Structure formats: structure tokens, C-alpha cells
């Protein structure tokens, strides 16, 4: 059985996971670019993103208190969930909260079991589809933040989040802030073991990516970047048949896609 630290009172440590993914696509013509943005907006609208965040909430063992969601014009969407570690009676909840009910329906069967506001935990997502008229490469970025207070850990949802999107590049930040106390009153700035975010990612998933760690152990700050190893060009062409493209052009497109990935992965203009 795992040895647990006995804490005094409420666990005040705040654990925040910031998860950023990039999906890269080759869309040559203006109409292809517009269609790609439309496709992304339909695939990852606020309704579907809400479902993903509710799944994340279930996975980490939390409960939904309030949901706010919005689709944007010309593109993009945002969703924010206020969550809590422990379930609470409905009478204890602010009456202005929607209690996890959207359009008159609970997002989950357990929608009647809601959590207290006091835990100060939340899950948010924002999407950023984009393209430029002079560039044939379009990108779709998703930013997800999972911030929890207490014993629940956002790290438990990592594999699910990676699998929920077509992730070519992934940037993950994890930070533990504040402190809690043990029964003797001694301050604890960390309540679990961690050497790398990669320790919480499925081994099979890791085999598909090149990964780099940048960690500041003294400050409980952890950062991991991943970039997909193998590329099949046909998976990156939007509304184009690979067999209609001459071999030399295929090579040029593949090189341009890889350059885009490397620059996003490294966070700098290299080429």
C-alpha cells in the first residue's frame, strides 16, 4: 500500500497543469484554408470541448460546480469549469451556478452531486485556429489549464488529453504552489514524488514523440515538450490527394511541415 503523508486540516497545495497542443495542416488554396478553419471549428466547438473537460474532471476525481462556454466569430472557442475535490449538498452551492447543467441537461449523470466553491479549482480550454494568406501551413492550437487544490492531481488526465486531440507538438507545464502542513505543523511544499512529467505519460505514447525536459526542481516547476517522430504526408493534406502531387512537391511540402513543427517545438525562428 502506498505510504501517505498525514496532513493537518485541508491540503492547501495548488497543482496546475498547463497543456498546449498544436495540430499542423497543409492547406494550399484560400478556400482550403477557410474550409480547414471551418472543419476545426465544427470538430472542436464549445460543446465537444465541454465534454472533454467534464471527462477530465471525472478522471481526476473531481466534481463540476459551474460551466461557462462560448464559440467565437470568426473562429475559436472557450470553456471554463469550476470544479471541486469533494461533493457537496445542493443547498450549500451559490444559486447563480448552473451546477453542471447546460441547456437544461446535466453534462454527466451525476449532475445532481455538485462540489463546494471553496476548493478554488478549475479547468479551462481555449482554441486558436489560424492561417496566413501567404503561407500554405495552417495550425490549430489548444490551451488547457487544470488547476486543483487538495489531493486530486491534474497529472492523471494527461494521457486522455493527449489522445483527445491530433497532437503534433505538445508543451506541458506543471507547477505546485503554496504549502500545506503535516500533523506536527511542519510546512510541506510537495506531497507527491515527481522527477519528470514524462513519468505520468503512457510508455506507448512516449514512443511516438521526441521529448525534452526543462525542470526547476527547487521551485517545483516542470516542463516537457514533445514532437511527433513520424510523419505521413497524406495525414497532413487537407482536401488534397497525395497521388495528385508530384514526388518533388511532396518532398517540399514534407520539409515545410517539419520546419514548422521544429520552430514551434523549439519556440524560436530557426529557418
Q: Which three cell numbers stand for residue 141?
A: 492550437
Q: Which three cell numbers stand for residue 251?
A: 518532398
User: Using CB atoms within 10 A of its CB, is residue 233 exposed (0-12), middle (13-18) or buried (19+)?
Assistant: middle
The SS3 call for residue 250 is helix
User: Using CB atoms within 10 A of its CB, is residue 187 exposed (0-12), middle (13-18) or buried (19+)?
Assistant: exposed
Helix (H) / strand (E) containing 248 = helix 247-266
| 249-266 per-residue burial string, b: 16 or more CB within 10 A, e: under 16 | eeeebeebbeebbeebbe
DSSP 111: T
Q: Which three cell numbers stand for residue 102?
A: 447546460
User: Using CB atoms within 10 A of its CB, is residue 197 exposed (0-12), middle (13-18) or buried (19+)?
Assistant: buried
Q: Which has the closest alpha carbon to 209: 154, 265, 142, 252?
A: 265
Catalytic residues: 121, 126, 149
- Cα–Cα distance for residue pair 169/188, rounded to 1 Å: 34
Q: Which three cell numbers stand for residue 3?
A: 505510504
Amino acid at each position: 500500500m502506498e505510504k501517505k503523508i498525514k496532513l493537518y486540516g485541508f491540503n492547501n497545495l495548488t497543482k496546475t497543469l498547463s497543456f498546449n497542443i498544436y495540430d499542423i495542416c497543409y492547406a494550399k488554396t484560400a478556400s482550403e484554408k477557410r474550409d480547414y478553419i471551418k472543419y476545426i471549428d465544427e470538430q472542436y466547438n464549445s460543446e465537444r470541448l465541454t465534454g472533454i473537460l467534464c471527462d477530465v474532471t471525472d478522471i481526476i476525481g473531481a466534481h463540476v460546480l459551474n460551466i461557462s462556454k462560448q464559440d467565437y466569430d470568426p473562429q475559436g472557442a472557450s470553456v471554463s469549469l469550476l470544479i471541486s475535490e469533494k461533493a457537496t449538498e445542493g443547498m450549500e452551492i451559490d444559486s447563480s451556478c448552473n451546477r453542471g447543467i447546460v441547456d437544461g441537461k446535466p453534462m454527466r449523470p451525476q449532475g445532481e452531486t455538485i462540489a463546494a466553491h471553496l476548493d478554488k479549482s478549475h479547468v479551462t480550454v481555449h482554441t486558436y485556429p489560424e492561417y496566413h494568406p501567404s503561407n500554405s501551413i495552417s495550425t490549430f492550437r489548444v490551451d488547457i489549464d487544470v488547476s486543483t487544490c487538495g489531493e486530486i492531481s491534474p497529472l492523471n488526465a494527461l494521457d486522455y488529453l493527449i489522445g483527445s486531440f491530433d497532437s503534433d507538438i505538445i508543451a506541458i507545464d506543471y507547477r505546485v504552489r503554496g504549502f500545506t502542513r503535516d500533523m506536527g505543523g511542519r510546512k510541506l511544499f510537495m506531497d507527491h514524488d515527481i522527477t519528470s512529467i514524462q513519468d505520468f505519460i503512457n510508455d506507448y505514447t512516449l514512443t511516438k514523440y521526441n521529448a525534452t525536459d526543462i525542470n526547476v526542481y527547487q521551485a517545483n516547476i516542470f516542463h516537457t515538450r514533445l514532437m511527433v517522430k513520424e510523419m505521413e504526408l497524406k495525414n497532413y493534406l487537407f482536401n488534397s490527394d497525395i497521388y495528385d502531387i508530384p514526388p518533388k512537391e511532396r518532398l517540399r511540402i514534407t520539409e515545410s511541415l517539419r520546419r514548422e513543427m521544429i520552430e514551434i517545438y523549439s519556440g524560436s525562428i530557426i529557418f
